[in-house]
A and B are shown apart, each in its own frame.
Chain A
Amino acid sequence: MYDFEVARPSTIAEAASALSAEGAQVLGGGHTLIPTLKNRLARPSVLVSVSRIDEMRGVRVENEKCLCVGGAATHAEVASSAEESFPALAWLAGNIGDPAVRNRGTVGGSLANNDPSACYPAAALAVGATIETNNREIAADDFFRGMFETELKEGEIITKVRFPIPDAGNYQKFEQPASRFALVGVFLAQFGSEVRIGVTGASESGVFRWADAEAALSADFSTEAANGLPAAPGAMINDLHGSGEYRAHLMKVLTARAVAAAS
């Protein structure tokens, strides 16, 4: 990797200040960024690590309705802290990578990177999470902008994510054989009779809400309804691990499983 400086601020304000430097970049768990640097595919001047910012750590339940996760909270923390309050999200977090990944990787890092096969974006979309930064709040529906693209501006840090806790929720992940990222992942959330579905891994446009499935399942929450869904619109990812057609098929299978599991 190329030379760079490391800043380790202890407050969000210090981090924001450090990020104003030319070529500065946020460092969360580093599981995408560090391999990128090792391959010399990025050349930041300074990495601003957020792992020592206490106000960005922690996982807690607010008003029994919302799981508030610090932007620098690790997947392992979410997996253990949300087990009672939001088991679907805890399961999602507990099945990312391996223990080493889960003890370093952060929620904020995953959402900010918006890898088209990452798990958290599907959950954020499905429950209508609010992404808080050092400057503002962004609704999940407005946050994701296609593969690896988000609403975040330069120097903006995800400080906290508020996940509304659904009445019923379930995440189904079909693993890509090599990376064990989601070849397709479907997060289903039910608030009253309203069903919301976030899909990751499938679309060339990145994570998305599957409107047809939401409408059909809001009207009839059954595996039969899931199995009868029309093919999802838009171009699906086509690579050596699966064609677009296969991914579209997996979306239905996983949605039906999520319905069965959440029923």
Chain B
Amino acid sequence: MNKVTLYTNARLLDPDSGLDIKGELLTINGEIAALDKKVEAPENAKIIDLKGNCLCPGLIDMRVFIGIPGADYKDTIKNTGEAAAAGGVTTVCVQPDSDPIIDSIPHIEYLASRAKNALVNFIAMPAVTKKLEGKEISEIGIMSKAGHNAFTDCSRTIENAALMNRIFKYASAFDALIITHLAEPNLSKNGCMNAGELATRLGLPGIPTAAETIVLERDMRLLKSSNCRYHASQVTCADSIEVLKNAKRNGYSVTAGVAVPHISLNEYAIEDYRTFAKLSPPLRSEDDRVAVIEALKDGTIDVIVSGHDPEDPETKRVPFEQAEAGVIGLETLLNICLEMYHNESIDLLSILAKMTSNPAKIMGLESGRLKVGAPADLCVFDLNVPYRVDAKKMISITKNTCFDGRPVQGRVVKTVVRGESVYEYAS
């Protein structure tokens, strides 16, 4: 029997086509079947009144860690799926540094089998180098041909420039996407926050922005001799943005992302040694944060990620230098980003594009658009409702959010994956 649902009384938002109208959207058997001001629905359609709320493509999060390595794999996948659904995220790109490390087809299949019953889509992002060691190229060709063609060493930088050069060349033969983490190892070693006056005041070892920019500059130089598709996972400073801008101007197939905390917080969030704001790369200066917003606005930065990284609270209840870096973020991806709409920095469709159509294009996914024939992965949100982020109410098992108590406007009220409702906000 066909499963038919008609969503009525919605503000339809499709960043890809620029659509922003009051209308209706019909899904049949997990696909979008029609969308318009008025849609003729079959008789058996279940009708859901969205009460004027926004309806956009389900969010695609390109940087998600599925949990504390060594913790119960299955349970963290289930929980990650639930947290994603609550955040309007319908596709999570799983970083490979789980246990086991995802660096080959069997590991991808293992993850897929584990994630079969998860609420949202899990896409494996396999490692660029075997076991993330930065020494040997993983089986990029075989994995790409099997449809897994976005690779990353997630939180590690490939230090060896000769190896990086070969990776770019090799990957270009398979149209693989290489996603990088930008932190020159020697400049980053022992560092735990942005280098600068505050680090000096707190007596903490700093990581200069140069650590990020140097790697990006090196990679751009190497890309000159290959056509590899390149995505900088997180850019956090004005200097890196300048390098990106040049590369894009010169026609390189380069894209870039940024994580939500770097959009909305600066280094002062860690004052008083708040380990919940310890990140890699670290939170930067206010000038850099403003540059990031500008780069989102002018399109230099294409993607916004949550960087969702559940950490055992015990690894955060230690002195700052010893604390693990990482924050959860699936449930605060959309509402924190909507700040840029409410404070009139960036228009709504452009913000949504960074979490829907842009990552879909970069990753080669069918989702991320409101289009007939596209998967019915949808996010429904109330654009204006004001409240405070409350860590205690979060679905994520670990509560290491850096936004607890922050006043926000906008809330996900419903999430749909392949036509099925996977989340409903209950007040």
Answer yes or no: are A and B bound together in one complex: no
| Residues of A that sit less than 8 Å from B by CB | none
